[in-house]
Structure 1
Amino acid sequence: MSRKGVGLAAFDRSRLTSAQYASHGNTLRTSDAAALETQLSVFRSLLQQFAQTHAKDIRSDPSFRAQFARMCTAIGVDPLASSSSSSSGGSGGIGSSLWAQLLGRSVNDFYFELAVRVVEVCGATRGENGGLIGVRELRERLGRGRMEGAPEIADDDVLRAVGTLKPLGSSYSVIRVGNKPYIRSVPKELNTDQSAVLEAVQVLGYVSVSMLMVNLRWTRARAQTAVEDLLGEGMLWVDKQAPEWEYWSPGFMLDVDGATTAGG
């Protein structure tokens, strides 16, 4: 049998086949993108109908409001984000959020007014907690000053209100210490050691250098540095009357004092 080399025609056929595959792939991608865009458009339309139908419940019921916000997030819509489409030719001349477009200004204003109150409470309590306050405690403080007939406030509302403060930079953010969310209102990031100390404080309300050395297997210098950093920021208070200095959480001490006063 004679062997023939691969001719130029074979290369041409190979290039043609590759080009056809590439063209078919582009067609499929374009088709899929168009179908996805159509589905998102339908979702947004249904979301708008749902919001208009249940507007009263969304305004008044914090649980219902949180569920609605989660539905928005699931399809990539931020209820509190500005709308670029309305900013170009809307009647107001500036971008408005999804809350404002679907439910009127009331819910939109609710979150921004709540954010202002969050800033006020964080500023007023910074001397007590060093700029680190639990979400539940913050919500309870906000609830005390709530006017009669005002919407109930949920933890989810507080977290979303803090999210509107992002333009202020890193001063306001949500962090987790252990399994508990906190609002941090000081422009300082907690390092790993500081977070570990605060998580340990949640157990008894206080820690000592020797406790950290035994339980976390730290050196004395490492434990001392971590507690002194938090002490300097006001996030821990020191009790020098104990045989070994104890570093207490201000929030825990205030909770205990409040419970004692209420019980006595």
Structure 2
Amino acid sequence: MSLRRGVGLAAFDHHQRTQQQYSDLGSSIVATHVSELTDQLVRFQSALQHFAQSHADEIRSDPMFRSEFVKMCAAIGVDPLASSAANKRGSFWAELLGNDVNDFFFELAVRIIEVCRRTKDQNGGLIPVDEVRDRLNTPPGRQHQPVSHDDIVRAVKTLAPLGHGFGIVRLSSRDYIRSVPQELSKDQAVAIEATQALGFISGPILTDNLNWEPARCIAVLDDLVAAGLVWVDKQVSPNEYWTPSWIK
């Protein structure tokens, strides 16, 4: 019996040592991979910094080049406008290209706010990004660097700390800037999309096309009117709810 017990304990001890060896080997492999990935990341960041500094003028002045650079950064999880807590000098973008490029997006955000404010009576606080781009690229008076669709979307995102006042919404495969102080609900977004065909909607249109109950239609339309996103025409029956941009 003692011999059997000894063999059993020896086998158990051997199994324990084998498991520990596998564990040590696994830890060693993981540590090696982490070290290699860290070295690769450092080399890549260095290459990215060199690229950004070498092409700083193109990034500042060429909207297409700037857009591709931002996409390249996004592909590796780097947000050029995001500040780093470890970097007291400012954002990644500002560190590489100078504060003038970083300030470009904040100045652009201010200009976007001005366009939204001037046109709110015309569109109810929902304006296509492309329309804003066209307005900004043909300003009266002082000349500005040309801006792209992507520039405007990125600049609007810098306004997120202001709360729910500004944001990007996608309606009918088109990007819009929302400048009303509330998020569009799913029903409201669908109703706004429905106005793109005729410029207006009505309760029966929503009921017939979306199979919504009358009470649901009334609630959505009343909310849109309250937000200023549609104007109601009570001279017809049933009432028609028009988007301000269609009213000349």
TM-score by length of 1: 0.84
- C-alpha displacement of 1:219: 1.0
- Match for residue 117 of structure 1 among 107, 111, 115: 111
Q: Following the alignment from structure 2 to structure 1, what is the Cα–Cα distance between the partners of residues 140 and 29?
A: 55
Task: Show the 5 A alignment for 1:34-45.
Answer: 34-45=35-46
2:181 corresponds to 1:180: no
2:222 corresponds to 1:228: yes
2:127 corresponds to 1:133: yes
Asked if structure 2 preserves the Cα contact closer than 8 Å seen for 1:40 and 1:75, the reply is no
Partner SS for 1:176: strand
Greater alpha carbon shift after TM alignment, 78-87 vs 219-228: 78-87
Q: Following the alignment from structure 2 to structure 1, what is the Cα–Cα distance between the partners of residues 77 and 138?
A: 34
Alignment correspondent of 1:260:
none
CA 1:132–1:15 in 2, change beyond 3 Å: closer, same or farther? farther
2:161 corresponds to 1:160: no
Deviations 1:57-116 (CA, angstroms, capped at 9, x unpaired) = 1111101100011111112221112233431xxxxxxx3222222222221111110111
Q: Cα RMSD over matched residues?
A: 2.1
Show structure 2 runs of 5+ residues with no match. Answer: none
Alignment correspondent of 2:188:
194
- C-alpha displacement of 1:128: 3.4
Asked if structure 2 preserves the Cα contact closer than 8 Å seen for 1:43 and 1:75, the reply is no
Asked if structure 2 preserves the Cα contact closer than 8 Å seen for 1:99 and 1:108, the reply is yes
Deviations 1:15-38 (CA, angstroms, capped at 9, x unpaired) = 222222222222222222222222
CA 1:19–1:251 in 2, change beyond 3 Å: closer, same or farther? farther
AA at the equivalent of 2:157: G
Alignment correspondent of 1:240:
234
Alignment correspondent of 2:17:
16
AA at the equivalent of 1:111: F
Partner SS for 1:242: coil
CA 1:109–1:168 in 2, change beyond 3 Å: closer, same or farther? same
- C-alpha displacement of 1:55: 1.5
2:206 corresponds to 1:212: yes
2:106 corresponds to 1:105: no
Task: Show the 5 A alignment for 1:3-152.
Answer: 7-87=8-88, 95-145=89-139, 149-152=143-146
Q: Identity over aligned residues, as a percent? A: 48
AA at the equivalent of 2:192: L
AA at the equivalent of 2:78: V
Q: Following the alignment from structure 1 to structure 2, what is the Cα–Cα distance between the partners of residues 80 and 229?
A: 35
Q: Following the alignment from structure 2 to structure 1, what is the Cα–Cα distance between the partners of residues 120 and 22?
A: 63
Asked if structure 1 preserves the Cα contact closer than 8 Å seen for 2:124 and 2:243, the reply is no
> How many residues are matched?
244
Show structure 1 runs of 5+ residues with no match. Answer: 88-94, 258-264
Greater alpha carbon shift after TM alignment, 228-237 vs 169-178: 169-178
- C-alpha displacement of 1:120: 2.3
CA 1:252–1:12 in 2, change beyond 3 Å: closer, same or farther? farther
Asked if structure 1 preserves the Cα contact closer than 8 Å seen for 2:81 and 2:93, the reply is yes
Partner SS for 1:57: helix
- C-alpha displacement of 1:155: 0.9
Partner SS for 2:45: helix
Asked if structure 2 preserves the Cα contact closer than 8 Å seen for 1:132 and 1:182, the reply is yes
Deviations 1:208-249 (CA, angstroms, capped at 9, x unpaired) = 111110110111111111111111100111122333211111
AA at the equivalent of 1:237: W
Partner SS for 1:170: coil
Q: Following the alignment from structure 2 to structure 1, what is the Cα–Cα distance between the partners of residues 156 and 63?
A: 16
AA at the equivalent of 2:191: V
Asked if structure 1 preserves the Cα contact closer than 8 Å seen for 2:180 and 2:227, the reply is no
